[in-house]
Amino acid sequence: MFLKTDFKFKKFELDTVDESVFSTDFDDSDWRVVRIPHDWGIEGDFSADNDATVNQIIEDGMTKPQVITGWTGGLPMVGAGVYRKWVKIEKTDKVFLEFDGVMWNSRIYINGKLAGQNHFGYKSFSVDITDFVNFDKENLIAVYAEVRENSGRWYSGAGIYRNIRLVSKPEKHIAYNGIWVRQTYADKGLAILDISAELVNVSGFTAKITSPNGETFEYTTEDDAILAEIKNPMLWDIDEPNLYTVEITLENGYSETVRFGIRMCEFTKQGFFLNGRYLKMNGVCMHHDLGAIGAAVNKSALKRQIEIMKGMGVNAWRTSHNPPAPELLELCDEMGLVVMDEFFDEWRLQKVKNGYAQTYDDFVKQDVIDIIKRDRNHPSVIMWSTGNEVREQIDDNGWKEARTLYDLVKATDPTRPVTNGLSHYPACYTKYMAFYTDIVGLNYKPHTYGDDLKKYPEKMFLGSETASCISSRGIYHFPAEIEIADKRWDDLAISDYGLMAPPWAYYAEREIAAQKDFPQVMGEFIWTGFDYLGEPTPYYTNWPSRSSYFGVVDLAGLPKNRYYLYRSVWTDIPTLHIFPHWNWENKIGENVPVHIYTNYDEVELFVNGKSQGKRTFAEKKAEFADKKEEWQNQVERFRLIWNDVVYEPGEITAVAYKNGKEAERKTIKTAGEPYEIRLLAYKESILADGEDLNYITAQIVDKDGNLCPNADNRITFTADKAEVYATDAGDQRETETFLRADKKAMSGMLVAVVRSDKQGNATIIATADGLISGIITFECK
């Protein structure tokens, strides 16, 4: 059973926790009551003092140590936390606590005695508590968790941030994550499955397979494995994510069930093929935080992220840079995404003082095995990544570590290829690490694809991390020019023209062009799908910047302009997206470039009814006068640009043509003064379980319903039969805690995160001084 409610919690300073807090007679009556999953770091206000440090981030091109703020989000996650809960445990042979993740170092106490511990915050683990339990009585479960400064390069969250289960088993049982449905062969006519179980104190089992349409197959063995044949299998695919289940039953009646999928994955020098069909991976890298609710896992929030990403054509996910929550993989199985499952951000050579490198030598081999055993039944997981930009790439002996991990992965799961996010070029080849991968994962190397394909014809390639274009939703700087530099602005924002990137990276179109020009490269994983907490490049030293600018979507889940670039390239959804907004009171008579993302053939632009001319996409040029001309050509292959538009209030209209005929038109009008609040609900109904979330977007509009793109009014949300849990405008510079019901809008919008434990119709009201209030109702069931 899940343990979720009635945990007593208290946060302490590091190295101040007395052992008495784990005892059964300790008085915790003045401690807070929290719900699991729980992230204590997200609960506080942002402050530079929370994570200010002197560091040199080699991966970001820093040549010397600097005073850095906001690196891990500027939130109060550093510290120690203790959770206490009393649970009555009925008599059984064996009892375990299964943790999906506790950040970072953890110890588990039962009735005051240490029963187990874990060193890696992203790892799932099980603790046998049988010998510590007083059966048929109340037992104290106490969990200690600590997060030290410099334990990661982004916001990790803190505490019991993933789910816990109390699991009872008989003496004869199946080990933790002990079932494996290993696909040994599959085509459209036949699948052969090697189904094994790690059995404890017993041999033999019965396997009952149930197909997606309810058909069942049953097999029995006296051993620990069977071969099962499935004729005409219903294949798992991104468009039809068919899922089977297998129930393993022992002689004593004990059983466990896992889901799996049958699919044909072919990794070739011509690209990736899923079930015989060429599939370019349109992927995103994603950290695990969920914006305003922090790192505490929430399935409905994860589902929303996936839905938003799929809306722009995403079909692949990289769990950068550590193992994900099980819920993410469950959703990828159900919703049809392929996954690069990544293990570590660092190996033995440390990037941060208190990161994984401290425990690497003692635990890495067992960690790799445990991670694979947990995730190997997920059909969405198609490859393992052993690391990201590890510093061993440039070490003369780094290849030995790569070889050790490669061999370990292959011994544990020979059915999936191994990759690695390689950033040092050409050191990843000259120091040989690239040769201990099946697929060479290249970070930010679109300009090398052509040479690599020629030099290493035996290898397969993937853009494992790409773009790192940076922007702030709805904010613009002029001139609108390509900037590949560590450039900063006084407002600590980045222009939403989507033309800026830090020195190691580039605008989005550069990778899109390379992927089009080299179809053998299996695809790309954009850095990143959503903004995330921490790594506020390029404003590491400019508080209050405290979260990333890399996302195609902001931290609140609101799309930036680049979202429509990818949608226009990656999908067939008719797309006609104009930017910037048309409220430029201080630029009347001055130039305001207009850009359009579209997948139509041709577009004509009008300003107040006057044509500014038609545009079609540029052809790929063979030769260039200089680097800037090459960059501009790449951009104009995928966006239409009118650089000579003179601003005058009114409206701009884009008319799109397909096969010479008008197909669609869009208009942006100069908005008047803010007048009222318009509310939009992400879902029409939610479960009244206190966990299912709805996202209510408030838009500040004028009398005619036009979005006011510069409005930053403070909006207050109130709720009936619901709780406003958090608010966020996606502003990378906001320092108020997320966990409040009011906040200033950015670029005319603000999002409220709402939940309920009451059935009925919930009503949300949004108010702001001088504006007509917004109201919306949705069902809680």
**Catalytic residue ranges:** 389, 465
Count helices and strands in the chain by DSSP H and E runs: 9, 47
Who contacts 256 (Cβ-Cβ below 8 Å, separation ≥6)? 174, 179, 247, 248
Listed residue (328, 174, 334) closest to 244, CA to CA:
334
How far apart are the C-alpha atoms of 524 and 504, rounded to whole Å? Answer: 16
Residue in the structure block whose two tokens are 């990759």: 419
Task: Specify whether the CB–CB gap between 491 and 732 falls below 8 A.
Answer: no
Residue 633 region, left (φ>0) first, then alpha (ψ -120 to 50), else beta? alpha
- Residue 217 and residue 206: Cα distance in Å, rounded? 11
Q: Where are the beta strands (DSSP E) in 372-488?
A: 381-388, 418-422, 439-443, 460-467, 483-484
Token couple for 55: 């560091």
Q: Which residues contact 610 (CB under 8 A, 6 or more apart)?
A: none
* C-alpha span between 403 and 69 (Å, rounded): 37
Strand ranges (E), 121-234: 125-128, 137-147, 164-169, 173-186, 190-200, 205-210, 216-221, 225-231
- 646 to 145, 579, 582, 584: CA distances (angstroms): 58, 14, 11, 11
Collect all residues with Cβ–Cβ distance below 8 Å to 29 and sequence separation of at least 6.
none
- Which uninterrupted H or E stretch holds 430? helix 427-430
Q: 9-30 burial, b for 16+ CB within 10 Å, e for fewer?
A: bbbeeeeebeeebbebebebee
* Nearest partner of 435 among 465, 400, 408, judged by Cα: 400
Two tokens, residue 606: 């009008």
φ/ψ of 332, rounded to 5, equals -65, -40
Please, are residues 95 and 155 in contact by the beta-carbon 8 Å criterion?
no
